[in-house]
Structure 1
Amino acid sequence: MKKALLALVVSLVSVNSFSHAPFVAPSNFIVAGGHTAVFAGFAELPFDSEVAIRGFEFSLFNPNGEKKALPLTNTKAVSVADVETSQEGTYQVIGQRKADIKYANLDQRWLRVLDTKDTKLKPLSERDFISELEVNEKTPQVSVKRFDDVITYFSKGKSSKLVKNSEANLTLEYSVHPNELKKNQPLMIDLAVKGRVAKNFNVEVEKQHIGLGEKDVVMKTISNNKGKVILNFSETGAYVVTVSSPDTEEKVKPIADVYRTIISLNVSE
């Protein structure tokens, strides 16, 4: 576990050429001292931060459920926060943002509008997005809200019952404490949005690379009609779990809010 967590910290300060999904993670999922660090950023590969995180408001919940704002300091490649860990038990970190997602209709397809700087794009028929440069005032357009949460957990001395966060956009209930996950131990997560079961939500799991030439470990599934999903981690290490709203057909006009929650977890022997 220490080897995996050391690799996590090292990879957090590396710089690549692209930035993708946001994340937040502790420098160690099990802590012992009076302070620890939390990292956040945008990454293409799990925990390989490329750009400091922006647009999110972060909060920390201590083991007693007390909430306070968690300011982060940015470098070019990563954001970091210092956390006082004077109490035993489990701490929760959550970052949240709300954004408009624009779609445009072209050739009877509703495509995501992206501000891409790439002028050498594939033909539109081979893409699932449309560039802002390809949209004009006559193009039918629509916007929906996307609610993003990035979440992680770490424990000092012992794990403790998770305090429910009423502000979370997507509610998560775990069958196993997130700081007590074991290899080959099934983990069931109950998903809900505003009290309603989140059925048919996409769930993707990616493992952090800790060695050169290591094969990707990726799991993909969807939540059932009761909003439940079962995950089984076949290897130890640090993982990113991404839960997102069901996909919509390109020919269907987007009308509903969408949700995405990205969770950082560690699995031990």
Structure 2
Amino acid sequence: MKKLLIASFVMISGYSFAHEPYVAPVAYQTTNTQVAVFSGYAEEALNSEYALKDAKFEITNPNQSKTIVEPDSKLASTTIFDLKLPDSGTYSVQTKASYPLKYVQDQKEWKLFFDLAEDKAPAKAERDYLIPADLKGKKIAPVEVTREWSLFTYITKEKSSPVKPTSAPIQVEFLTHPNELKANQTTKVKVAKANQPLANAEVVLRAKGATDEQAKTLKANTDGTVDLVFPSAGEYLVEVTESVDSKKKPSNQFYSIISLSVN
């Protein structure tokens, strides 16, 4: 899954490649009365480099009641807030991020398009997007779409309690409790869209610190299921989206990204 985030706050030029958002706690299992939750954009998984500005976080408590947290964090590198944990059980944290993108068609294939000067971009053979210089003499008619990320994580205080499948355009359900995952054991996941199994969904597994190039990519089965095996203990991101056919006209893109801790 090629990842590309264009955001004016990232660099003076406005371009930063392979940055994706996430939300994750400092501890996924705890006996504390509160825990710090971090979010941001990261090129290396779970290592925030830029804050997730103006995000609102929906908290689902163990009794399924919901609250909204609006952090007042002023850090540039990450967004952080304290999540109160008054009750035993599992808390779900959810938020969103989005960004507009443009695509153009070239030789019957749709590619990302950025209005970038030729001397500011690598050679065409070294990138998977197009700039105006690549299309000299051609009529450019960009198609605008929105890329939306739904971000999730789970914190368990003292003992696990049931969690519901993620509520997002791309719905993800772990058949093993997400805070009880074990290394080198198969974990079955169901992926759906509009409550229907999402055949051939693209599922990407990234260990903490891993770049896009180091990620492991899997395809869901026709019934929307996929078996995940975490090779070692540690933190991971599980990223799920629809498979994209570059020969079809682009439409809005939806991702679900879940941070997890594996024992």
Tell me the TM-score range normalised by the shorter chain: 0.7 to 0.9
1:259 to 225, 230, 254: 254
Which residue identity lines up with residue 143 of structure 1 in the other structure?
E
* Structure 1 residue 65, shift from structure 2 partner: 1.0
Q: What is the distance in 2 between the residues matched to 1:190 and 1:94? A: 18
The one-character-per-residue Cα deviations of 1:122-156 (angstroms, maximum 9, x if unpaired) are 33354321237878994122123333111110100
* Structure 1 residue 29, shift from structure 2 partner: 0.5
* Structure 1 residue 34, shift from structure 2 partner: 1.2
Cα-Cα RMSD? 2.6
* Structure 1 residue 78, shift from structure 2 partner: 0.6
| TM-score using structure 2 length | 0.83
* Structure 1 residue 118, shift from structure 2 partner: 8.0
Q: What is the distance in 2 between the residues matched to 1:100 and 1:217? A: 26
Q: What is the distance in 1 between the residues matched to 2:228 and 2:191? A: 13
Q: What is the distance in 2 between the residues matched to 1:118 and 1:138? A: 18
SS at match of 2:192: strand
Confirm whether residue 20 of structure 1 aligns to residue 19 of structure 2. Answer: yes
* Structure 1 residue 57, shift from structure 2 partner: 3.3
Q: What is the distance in 1 between the residues matched to 2:158 and 2:223? A: 35
Alpha-carbon distance change, 19 to 101 in structure 1, aligned in 2, over 3 angstroms: closer
Which residue identity lines up with residue 147 of structure 1 in the other structure?
E
Q: Trace 1:78-227 onto structure 2 (pairs within 5 A).
A: 78-114=78-114, 119-131=119-131, 138-164=139-165, 166=167, 168-209=168-209, 218-227=215-224
* Structure 1 residue 69, shift from structure 2 partner: 1.1
* Structure 1 residue 198, shift from structure 2 partner: 1.3
* Structure 1 residue 41, shift from structure 2 partner: 0.6
Confirm whether residue 34 of structure 1 aligns to residue 47 of structure 2. Answer: no
The one-character-per-residue Cα deviations of 1:33-71 (angstroms, maximum 9, x if unpaired) are 211110001111111111011364321111111111121
Alpha-carbon distance change, 140 to 60 in structure 1, aligned in 2, over 3 angstroms: same
Task: Single out whichever of 41-50 and 156-165 deviates more from structure 2.
Answer: 156-165
Alpha-carbon distance change, 225 to 132 in structure 1, aligned in 2, over 3 angstroms: same
Which residue identity lines up with residue 261 of structure 2 in the other structure?
N
Q: What is the distance in 1 between the residues matched to 2:169 and 2:61? A: 19
Could you tell me which runs of 5 or more consecutive residues in structure 2 were left unpaired when the two chains were aligned. Answer: 1-15
Q: What is the distance in 1 between the residues matched to 2:17 and 2:150? A: 21
Q: What is the distance in 1 between the residues matched to 2:115 and 2:85? A: 41
Alpha-carbon distance change, 18 to 191 in structure 1, aligned in 2, over 3 angstroms: closer
**Preserved contact between residue 42 and residue 53 of structure 1 (Cα < 8 Å):** yes
Which residue identity lines up with residue 46 of structure 2 in the other structure?
F
* Structure 1 residue 159, shift from structure 2 partner: 0.5
| TM-score using structure 1 length | 0.81
Task: Single out whichever of 93-102 and 227-236 deviates more from structure 2.
Answer: 93-102
Which residue identity lines up with residue 253 of structure 2 in the other structure?
V
Task: Single out whichever of 110-119 and 90-99 deviates more from structure 2.
Answer: 110-119
Q: What is the distance in 1 between the residues matched to 2:100 and 2:131? A: 16
1:231 to 228, 236, 240: 228
Task: Single out whichever of 50-59 and 231-240 deviates more from structure 2.
Answer: 50-59
Q: What is the distance in 1 between the residues matched to 2:55 and 2:112? A: 22
SS at match of 1:199: coil
Could you tell me which runs of 5 or more consecutive residues in structure 1 were left unpaired when the two chains were aligned. Answer: 1-16, 211-215
